Amino acid sequence: MRKSDDNKGRRLPGADDDSCVPEQFPYAKNPDVSAALESPVSGIAGNSIDTGCLDAIRSLQRPGRPDILEKVIGQYFEDAAHQIEVMRTGYASGDAAAITGASHRIKSSSANLGALRLADLCMKLESICRDGLLPADMTLIISIEEGFIEAKSQIESYRRELSYDNRTV
């Protein structure tokens, strides 16, 4: 389906109900999205990652076993990058179901790793596309991509600090 240039969402073929469909999706002017993009998650000073989630994963580590946190983080980085590409391709081809699935995967894994701001953005996109709609433009998908880059940087910083702490103990 062709995306509208006049900033209106449209139902895709195959959407399964006739309920009211919101006509406007002005993400660039949406105060919820703007606030999510401009400030970190409340209670996490100067950081968009809740490191308590990463600490909880570390606590599952068994002696003599491969580093569970490294494995989880590596899989997250690889999968999230792939899912963002799925979102972009899905948007270009009008595939709301692909965007829904990709945003759901990033939402869940981001929340598990403490990237709560990114999870919130993905939740917004998932809720739009779940009903067979596409956002009017790429603003939210681009925000998710930028949020992933930021989350990745913060998680890598956490890993560096952890490596440094382990060397000094």
Residue 27 has φ and ψ, to the nearest 5°, of -60, -35
Structural domains of the chain, with CATH:
49-168 (1.20.120.160)
Which of 32-36, 130-134, 163-167 shows the lowest per-residue confidence on average (mean pLDDT)?
Answer: 32-36
CB of 57 closer than 8 Å to CB of 72: yes
Mean pLDDT for the chain?
A: 78
| Choice between 79 and 162, residue whose per-residue pLDDT is larger | 79
Confidence of residue 165 (pLDDT cuts 50, 70, 90): low
Confidence of residue 21 (pLDDT cuts 50, 70, 90): very low
Confidence of residue 47 (pLDDT cuts 50, 70, 90): low
Residue 160 has φ and ψ, to the nearest 5°, of -65, -45
Task: Please state the rounded mean pLDDT for residues 7-21.
Answer: 34
Confidence of residue 167 (pLDDT cuts 50, 70, 90): low
Strand partners, 133: 11
- What pTM did the predictor assign? 0.71
| Choice between 19 and 99, residue whose per-residue pLDDT is larger | 99
Q: What is the DSSP letter of 40?
A: P
Q: What is the pLDDT of residues 70-103, one digit of tens each?
A: 999 999 999 999 999 999 999 999 999 999 999 9
